[in-house]
Amino acid sequence: MRIAGRKKSYLMENTLFDKVFRDREGKVILAQMPNLPFIVWIVVTVLKLIFTTGKISTGLEVIAFGVLFTWAWEELFQGVNYFRRALGFIVLVSLILSKIQ
């Protein structure tokens, strides 16, 4: 049943599953193509395995924290669904707690 002038997303059921896992187009989204901060974090994390001591290691640690923080912030406020936003929140809180302890 189509209502004139209304988008398909308005006709979807508003179940908890839909709110948590579906995007605006109705697709279930758990994982997606990584964005730039996440790709940089992966590369820097691999480099940290090679450079384990010294100034390079310290610099890589700062970069890794910064880009993962950026990724988590973007997911928290711009995630495509509640699952992605919750994931961003969990990572952001974990990062902050890791620096406090």
**pLDDT at position 2, please?**
41
Are the C-beta atoms of 59 and 90 separated by less than 8 Å? no
User: For the ranges 6-10, 21-25, 29-33, 92-96, which has the lowest average pLDDT?
Assistant: 6-10
pLDDT tens string 17-46: 877 788 777 788 777 788 899 999 999 999
Contacts of 48 (CB under 8 A, 6+ apart): 57, 60, 61, 64
**pLDDT at position 13, please?**
65
Is residue 5 scored above 50 in pLDDT?
no
Q: Percentage of the chain surpassing pLDDT 70?
A: 87
Q: The tokens 């790709």 sit on which residue?
A: 39
